């Protein structure tokens, strides 16, 4: 596969030394597909870093190490989603419209309970390797922590890697747990 790397603006992967390959989202020649390599239950989103675009995998690993070093008593970041199948994406899209109060604010305000604007095939998660990851934090006792402050601190570290966009900076429907490869839409255009 010969492609032009949108970060380094040259043909890859042959042009890249192996140790710098993580800078290029195309260094791995695995073709991008919309069907997953999940074997068990296709409705479950993958949490594996192996289903992640290499640039994102690098950015996450680097931020995770720095976060643990900087905030040793804080909850630790972990991946909650990488690749998500089309079935899972539609389930997530439709999730709020169940006549129940999903966000626990005491109201069945379903427009407000949306967690994604993307239907199947429209999310950066719907490709394998995935162009997006979702993160959350785990406390020492194993509880999951979604506090804004951890996302804000973690995002600063992830964004040290060039070429990543944070969902916390989205204009509509901010998504603090979400990070994606900037310009991924252009990479999957047929
Ligand atoms: Ca609902
Ligand atoms: Ca509600
Ligand atoms: Zn996401």
Mean pLDDT of the chain: 81
Count CB-CB contacts under 10 A for residue 130.
29
pLDDT for res 44: 67
pLDDT higher than 60, residue 21 = no
Residue 90 inside a domain? The answer is yes
Kindly tell me the burial class for residue 55, based on how many C-beta atoms sit within 10 Å of its own C-beta (0-12, 13-18, 19 or more): buried
Among 18-32, 47-61, 83-97, 119-133, the least confident range: 18-32
pLDDT higher than 80, residue 185 = yes
Residue 17 inside a domain? The answer is no
- Name the domain count of the chain: 1
CA of 104 to the centre of ligand 2 (A): 5
Position 168 confidence tier, pLDDT thresholds 50, 70, 90? very high
The dihedral sign for the CA sequence 127, 128, 130, 134: positive
CATH number at residue 55: 3.30.1380.10
Domain interval for residue 115: 32-188
Task: Give the residue with greater pLDDT, 55 vs 20.
Answer: 55
Closest-approaching ligand to the CA atom of 52: 3
pLDDT for res 42: 44
CA of 105 to the centre of ligand 3 (A): 23
CA of 35 to the centre of ligand 3 (A): 17
pLDDT higher than 60, residue 172 = yes
């Amino acid at each position: 596969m010969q492609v032009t790397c949108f970060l380094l603006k040259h043909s890859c992967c042959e042009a890249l030394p192996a140790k710098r390959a993580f800078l290029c989202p195309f260094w791995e020649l695995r073709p991008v597909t919309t069907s997953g390599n999940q074997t068990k239950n296709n409705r479950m989103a993958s949490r594996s870093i192996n289903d992640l675009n290499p640039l994102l995998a690098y950015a996450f690993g680097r931020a995770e190490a720095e976060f643990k070093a900087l905030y040793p008593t804080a909850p630790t970041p972990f991946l909650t989603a990488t690749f998500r199948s089309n079935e899972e994406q539609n389930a997530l899209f439709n999730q709020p419209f169940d006549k129940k109060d999903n966000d626990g604010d005491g109201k069945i305000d379903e427009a407000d309970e949306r967690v994604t604007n993307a239907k199947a095939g429209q999310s950066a998660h719907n490709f394998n390797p995935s162009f997006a990851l979702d993160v959350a934090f785990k406390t020492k006792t194993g509880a999951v922590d979604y506090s804004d402050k951890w996302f804000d601190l973690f995002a600063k570290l992830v964004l040290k890697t060039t070429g990543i966009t944070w969902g916390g900076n989205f204009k509509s429907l901010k998504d603090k747990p979400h990070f994606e490869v900037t310009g991924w839409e252009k990479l999957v255009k047929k």
